[in-house]
Structure 1
Amino acid sequence: MKFIDKITFLVFLLIWSAEIICQETKSVPPSDLTAILELFNGKKYYQALQNLEIIFRQGNKDHRVLLPLFNCYYYCEEYEKAAGFAESNTEVFSDMQNHLLYAHSLYYLGKLPEAEKAMEKAPRSDLYYQILFSIFETEDRWNNLKYEFHSCRGKLGNSTLQFWLGKITERTALQYNNYMKEQDFNRAAEALREIISLDSRDYYILSLAGLYYAIEDYENARLTAEKITFNKLQSDDEKFTFYKLNGMINCRLGEYEKAAAALTTARKIKCIDYDLEYYTALAYY
């Protein structure tokens, strides 16, 4: 291709591209409310917002303008405008879902008490609980969060359920670690029981059985250890701890034959352990 032809081609390409861009971003006449609402329903919120604001400033306060305009402010993340608009034009609340969007806007603005108050009229939904839990977390009101979570757990969507389940478990695990550092074993056991109510993996159950043993509650240690499904234990360390703990518990309860069997199995996994040697001798003695 000759140099001049290349220039002609590039100019044509630029002109063609510009026409396409103009077609895609061309404004809708503000008088054409139907076309504007088509933009809104097509989730083209920025374009719809520009046109709806013009119509609203012209004095049109029909609900077909007010409701989508409020939604556009929210979905364009203009939360201050969304909140202010809702407060000045309460007709937007004829759609009950907008109570949630209003509360969420207040949350983003840091107005947490106002956001929680606004939630009172909002319909219960997955978004409702996401906002409510976020308010509680931000205000460090974990007891409220846990109570509401347990109350509505069956109503949550799977992604919301798993997200907040992880949050609460992580928070309670931190409490557990702090109690263990302080050697407050009773409160640590309470924290572990709470974790198990959320996540019943055998790792946590084994830890709780060990805590009961530490506070000399041997009967609860035995009952807790019996809930463990051995074939779900993943590592040799967990399997070793399971058998060793069972042996130690049974020694304390005077069940020496059971203790000997459990400790013998533990020795096959890891034979060098002072406590293991001591309790094995005690069981066989």
Structure 2
Amino acid sequence: MDRTPELGEFLRTRRARLSPRDAGLTDYGGRRRVAGLRREELARLAGISVGYYTRLEQGTVGSRASDAVLDALARVLRLDATERGHLYGLARPERRAARAAERPECPAEQLRPSVRNMIGTLGDVPALVLGRFVDVLAWNRAGHALLAGHLPFDAPEHSGGDGSGGPPERPNIARMMFLDPHTRALYPDRPAKCRDTVGDLRLIAGRWPDAPRLAGLIAELQRESGEFRELWAAHPVRTCATHTRTYRHPVVGPLTLTDELLTLPDDPGQRVVIYHAESGSPSADALRLLTTAAADGPLTAPLTAPLTAPPRRT
């Protein structure tokens, strides 16, 4: 994945979202030909020449930009910590290449049995394991029932994660979010979830810029989803850590759940996602009900039988 156009794209999107007034400039009104700051305005505020900034945005001087220049741009553009790190990664592709050269080739992803066993012991707490390119490596019964009761429960052991670009064999969270009607209907605030998904995928693309499998996933989503194309062009970058969201589940109705993402340091790029409800809440009862229903077979319709939740653990 070529980093040069991505650097310019990232800088342009961040210029466009910052108005002259936000940057402390006097806005004399009138029609502006560009949204947000002009190149010359940003260059002046950052203390660099317009020509130098233009070449930086064109990607011709990124690797030679000093820390002071990048810091100044980050300050003027009001980048948060995640965006600042992303800027440095795009501007210093040779450093990223050197780090990549120090690690082995991207192998087919393997899920450690102990991790699979761990999420299986969580009972009615939904959990899943995401691979480096947001493939679902495994989910427990509750996690499957929450997110994908319409899909087969078992995922295959291998997914083409070696970068071969072969056909996908595992469910993929980004693909589900944009192309699967069941997943799209699960989130009442779907635009926010979609932005978070793309922001996370942008960061992943920055960490694994040369992975054919990831490039294939992004190309597929750009081809099949206009919504994804629009969000991808906006170049959001966002670290997924924890969210509290409302879900509109087709079987048990509305749920309010918090998700926690835990990185696996011995498995680069892999993350465990755990969903939990507030203790004693209707959502906690609904989760137990959902897990009980999932044990009886595929979830395809709302519950109609008088199924009761199992007793609470004490």
Q: TM-score range by the shorter chain?
A: under 0.3
Q: Which structure features the higher share of strand residues?
A: 2
Q: Point out the structure with the larger helix share.
A: 1
What's the TM-score, normalizing by structure 1? 0.25
Bigger radius of gyration: 1
Q: Which has the higher contact order (CA 8 A, sep 6+)?
A: 2
TM-score by length of 2: 0.23
